[in-house]
Structure 1
Amino acid sequence: MASYIAASIMCADQLHIADELEKLETANIDLLHCDVMDGNYVNNLAIGPEWLMAVKKATNIPLDIHLATIDPIKYVDMFAHVKPEYISFHVEVCEDVSEVIQRIRSYNIKPAIALNPETSLDTILPYLNEIEMVLMMTVNPGFAGQIFQKNVLVKLRRLRELLKDYAHAPLIEVDGNINETTIGQMSDCLPDVFVLGTSALFHKKDSQTYFERSTRIWSHAKR
């Protein structure tokens, strides 16, 4: 099973983003995880479409946009011109999940569903054949540096078991204090995509390069 590393761009040095992107490319990062926050669904604001378009032009790393917003269709339309690889939206805010999935696909973007730690896995089961990825939050969205919520492991194990019989199973992505320790807790149900932020990749006190850090995490995930 392949494992992929996504770098959480909100954790990078925003004053030196071009340098950060160059380092991430050198580290062979697979995806740039881009949190879009509207100040309503979560109590934070982050990443506008024009800034993200500038990032897109500055790197060859595919973008993985996570909409932590209400009214996801509004934001799908707003960010579609950036042409990310994935757009994920929260099942908690949707009246018509399939409509949002179809809107994302209409732009030739891969749809993904995100769910919070306390949200039942049952809410997304009807849509697993319609999406390309499940983003399982291991912290509540909005801020970096939170404590990994171990209750998510039960959902992760169940989802991995459910997907084993799918001919075209969506990827499983995890986001929220993902590091060597928390990955070790997922050893029996490893996800496909690990979002790395301040606790692993962008750790300013760690003198290792992004390449060394991501390789260390990737190797740990493959055990």
Structure 2
Amino acid sequence: MPDLSQQDLASRETLVQWLRTDGPHISVGLMAANPMAYGAAISELEEAGVSLLHFDIMDGVFCPQMTSGPGLVKASKTKMLKDVHLMVADPLAQIPAHLAAGADIVHVHAEGMTHLHRALVALDGPVAGCESGRKVVRSVALNPGTPVAILKPVLRLLEMVTLISVDPGWPGGAPDQVIADKIAELKAMAKEQGVDPLIAIDGGINASTFSIARDMGADIIVSGSATFKAGATLKLNLDAMTKG
């Protein structure tokens, strides 16, 4: 994977273009690593050339599990982009703390949000500590049962759409025809509005399904458990997915 540089990441626009042209990028879910060795996992991911570090922020309300918050995002010292997925009941209230923690990409869920537009406006700010003033990449995530039409009023306010292939907090799932149909509908809707958001696919990604997500046209593919699968090195697990 390409090396990151300040020139690559000088603005949100150049970052989006880099993600679009040099993909698909794999965003590795840190929560799948040994929680007693997150630092070692981050170092190993950097050595393997991973570009994005994915944080699944779960509050035990929006989905069954409770994981971490802005403290872990801030404490994770890395050259990788911090890719923060807010699976929480009230993302608008949590956005400021995660921006202050250094998030480069933030995904908010459309489901149940009273103020989706307000959340995207709140995300339209600079990445904390970024000297160039690069703004945060804004994404809206959609659960398997959520239609893409919900994005029509706000499509011009985001840079990415994240399609979830498994209900957050539950096992199973994989990219399927439902995701493919959503992508086709999203592209048609985006063309009508003259925009072209990045596409991320999250859920059920492993050595057997990575290529399915890639062939669907994903710019970013999120994987956690398969990357940290026991019995092989992290690099071998990544190669099994991305080179298959």
Q: TM-score range by the shorter chain?
A: 0.7 to 0.9
Contact 1:136 1:173 in 2 (8 A): yes
Q: How far 1:166 moved relative to its partner?
A: 7.1
Return closer, same or farther for 1:148/1:80 CA change in 2, 3 Å cut-off.
same
Greater Cα shift, 209-218 or 171-180: 209-218
Secondary structure, counterpart of 1:190 in structure 2: coil
Return closer, same or farther for 1:38/1:82 CA change in 2, 3 Å cut-off.
same
Return closer, same or farther for 1:165/1:204 CA change in 2, 3 Å cut-off.
farther
Return closer, same or farther for 1:37/1:180 CA change in 2, 3 Å cut-off.
same
**What is the letter of the counterpart of residue 35 of structure 2?**
Q
Return closer, same or farther for 1:114/1:204 CA change in 2, 3 Å cut-off.
same
2:88 corresponds in structure 1 to 69
Q: How far 1:203 moved relative to its partner?
A: 0.7
How many residues are matched? 214
Greater Cα shift, 114-123 or 167-176: 167-176
2:48 corresponds in structure 1 to 27
**What is the letter of the counterpart of residue 24 of structure 1?**
L
1:196 corresponds in structure 2 to 223
Q: How far 1:164 moved relative to its partner?
A: 6.1
1:84 corresponds in structure 2 to 103
Q: How far 1:214 moved relative to its partner?
A: 2.1
Q: How far 1:161 moved relative to its partner?
A: 5.0
Contact 1:87 1:112 in 2 (8 A): yes
Runs of 4+ in 1 over 4 A off after TM superposition: 160-168
Secondary structure, counterpart of 1:125 in structure 2: helix
Question: Distance in 2 between the 1:158 and 1:96 partners?
Answer: 24
2:210 corresponds in structure 1 to 183
2:168 corresponds in structure 1 to 141
Return closer, same or farther for 1:45/1:177 CA change in 2, 3 Å cut-off.
same
Q: Deviations over 1:165-209 (max 9, x none)?
A: 7765221111111123223434652211010111x211113x2x3
- Structure 2: unaligned runs, 5 residues or longer: 1-20, 127-134
- 1:53 is aligned, of 45, 69, 74, to 74
1:93 corresponds in structure 2 to 112
Question: Distance in 2 between the 1:187 and 1:162 partners?
Answer: 21
Sequence identity percentage: 26
Q: What TM-score, normalized to structure 2?
A: 0.80
Question: Distance in 2 between the 1:187 and 1:12 partners?
Answer: 24
Alignment of 1:100-111 (within 5 A): 100-107=119-126, 108-111=135-138
Secondary structure, counterpart of 1:94 in structure 2: coil
